[in-house]
Chain A
């Protein structure tokens, strides 16, 4: 029993950290650009798919981990320049437009990659013992990489010039313009960064779930829920909410059927939305 619990907690934390990356990317795009990016789940999926191709090509998971987010970041750049720039101030239109984009990306992947799910064999196969069961080291690595990325993001935002610019634009766009900050560039790079983060999650998630063209759909909704519950624009909130929700689902699944656990997590979210619409950690 204890081993089951330990594993459920570990899994919850690992998956929570992966979701946290996606949510962070979404939150940056939303917190800064006020854009509701329905295509975010598709970017996550693209990360996994592109990684799959690179693994086929080079045989190395680690190379794919670096390259895939760069590719998806580039795609994000194209999306931002081509599409988002024209509609960024109209929220309902961006929701619908990015929804359409999501359909397009999913279908293109369906046509090129195919409909059947494919597996990525984890580069590390070692399993270490926990109580009387075994736990894959790969998942711990995934958690560590995810945490590393988040720390890197934190450093970037708090210590670098670009990070400072981003925070300035979130605070007060007009003032930022007045101070000579290249706001358009900031918007663009934020979207790129957000897309890359989604892709990172996709690559990290790929060894755990399988890679298929639909994998972004459910993840997208969860990411939105995490962002809202954690507080829009509140990055730390997203990380906490992501881990919390994953834990509730994961541990809950030990005692009740997994679908019921998910329903409880969702119902909890509804309550949070109603009582504190700014999110658990937002102001």
Chain B
């Protein structure tokens, strides 16, 4: 009981510290760095939403790009074509992917293992093809640019064309989403997801409607992936059909594996490290994916639980020897 209290206190402390650090950063960092971090926050959101279904529920989907792309296009099209305000557009960038995730998930969760992986990829490919070819709507791979109006909530207003404003906007939303997911995975619902990952049949035998809960996890992940896509487009003021390609899903997989699946800090850490690596190496190598690939193979062989897993086992070793 005390350990629980201690842990949550520790988490709150660290979380608040990191938030403060990030909040203060724009006063010291240049605009380029701020943009990089803003994008990093978005990818963190995408990665943790992926880990909800992968690390926590045990479903490997290479198709999350579909929802990311849907979120990004929803925001872009609603603002650009329909002149809708930013607040509602962002809301719809969650709702529309949720509806699609419900549809895709409904069929996909009837399957398991490799079949689930394949069917989610197929849905994503269909989405990708539609995105590439329905150019009147999506602009194809050339994409669509737009200029979002300021985000308004009550009396509060934030200007998204201002890089610093954009930075804080994304930071706050991603932080809230992180806390939301954290509470969820510790909740009774989270326990159900975890039990499905651990032993699907046993979960079914003790009375959990496994398909229903897989679908719930899938829909939530889809909604958050959509939110990530929406935030991405708001930041870059741009959407392209390329966001729907399954290699985008691959990013989430890489960040999660490198950082540590089955945790929330893992994907966040993984995203931070891998993106920083890519960003740094692009000065030397054209082929940043090479490093990503090597990192992935290395991690999977040496540390399948990711960096977080490595750190955790260090602590465990410390405990037993002390």
State the A residues within 8 Å of B (CB).
36, 83, 86-87, 90-93, 95-97, 99-108, 110-111, 217, 221, 224-225, 228, 232, 257, 259, 262-263, 266-267, 269-270, 273-274, 277
B297 touches A111 (CB 8 A): no
Shortest Cβ distance from A232 into chain B, in angstroms? 8
A95 to chain B, nearest CB (A): 7
A107 and B289 contacting across the interface, CB-CB below 8 Å: yes
Q: In the A-B complex, list the 6 residue pairs whose CB atoms are closest, starting with the nearest.
A: A103-B293, A100-B296, A107-B290, A104-B293, A107-B287, A100-B297
Partner of A97, one of B114, B289, B300: B300
Q: Residues of B with Cβ closer than 8 Å to A?
A: 60, 107, 110-111, 113-115, 117-119, 121-123, 125-126, 129-130, 132-133, 246-247, 250, 253-254, 257, 285-287, 289-290, 292-297, 300-301, 304
B293 touches A259 (CB 8 A): no
**Interface contacts beyond A95-B60, A228-B115, A273-B122: sample of 20 additional A-B pairs, CB < 8 Å, sorted by A:** A83-B301, A96-B257, A96-B296, A99-B250, A99-B253, A100-B294, A100-B297, A103-B292, A111-B286, A221-B121, A221-B125, A224-B118, A225-B118, A259-B129, A259-B132, A263-B130, A267-B126, A273-B115, A273-B119, A274-B110
Query: Bound state CA distance, A105 and B294, in angstroms?
Result: 10
Kindly state the separation between the CA atoms of A100 and B297 in the bound complex, as whole angstroms: 5
B296 touches which of A86, A103, A225 (Cβ 8 Å): A103
**What's the least CB distance linking A220 to chain B, in Å?**
10
User: Would you give the shortest CB distance from B121 to chain A, in whole angstroms?
Assistant: 6
Q: Are B133 and A257 in contact, with the CB atoms below 8 A?
A: yes
Listed A/B pairs (17) with beta-carbon separation below 8 Å: A36-B117, A96-B300, A100-B254, A100-B295, A104-B293, A105-B293, A106-B289, A107-B287, A107-B290, A110-B287, A221-B121, A225-B122, A266-B125, A266-B126, A270-B119, A270-B123, A274-B107
Query: What is the bound-complex CA distance between A86 and B298, given in angstroms?
Result: 12
- A266 touching B253 by the CB < 8 A rule? no
Secondary structure type dominating chain B contacts? helix
CB <8 Å contact, B304 and A93: yes
Pair B114/A91 contact, Cβ less than 8 Å: yes
Given contacts A92-B60, A224-B118, A262-B129, contact A274 B111 (CB under 8 A): yes
Is A93 in contact with B111, judged by CB distance below 8 angstroms?
no
A263 cross-chain contacts in B, Cβ below 8 A: 126, 129-130
Q: Which residue of A lies closest to B291 (CB)?
A: A107
Q: Contact check, A101 vs B121: say whether CB atoms are below 8 A apart.
A: no
The CA of A263 and the CA of B257, in the complex, are separated in Å by 31
**Contact among B125, B254, B290, B304 with A111 in the assembled complex (CB-CB below 8 Å):** B290
Q: Do residues B110 and A108 form an inter-chain contact, with CB atoms below 8 A?
A: no
Min CB distance B153 to A, Å, is 40
Partner of B253, one of A93, A96, A225: A96
A102 and B132 CA atoms in complex are apart in Å by 24
Residues of B close to A274: CB separation below 8 A: 107, 110-111, 119
**Given A86-B301, A101-B293, A103-B293; A91-B113 close (CB under 8 Å):** yes
Beyond A97-B296, A107-B293, is A269–B122 a contact (Cβ under 8 Å)?
yes
Could you say which of B110, B257, B294 contacts A104, with CB atoms under 8 Å apart?
B294
Contact residues in A for B300 (Cβ distance below 8 Å)? 87, 93, 96-97, 100
In the complex, what distance in Å separates the CA atom of A270 from the CA atom of B118? 9
Contact assessment for B122 and A266 in the assembled complex, using a CB-CB cutoff below 8 Å: yes
Measured in the bound complex, the distance between the Cα atoms of B129 and A257 in whole Å is 12
- Chain B residues positioned under 8 Å from A103 (CB to CB): 250, 289-290, 292-293, 296
Q: Which residues in A have their C-beta under 8 angstroms from that of B110?
A: 274
- The closest CB in chain A to the CB of B127 belongs to A263
With CB as the reference atom, state the residue of chain B lying closest to A94: B300
Q: In whole Å, how far is B253's beta carbon from the nearest beta carbon of chain A?
A: 6
CA of A96 to CA of B119, assembled, Å? 17
A108 and chain B: residue at smallest CB distance: B290
Residue of A nearest to B129 (CB): A259
Min CB–CB distance B137 → chain A (angstroms): 14
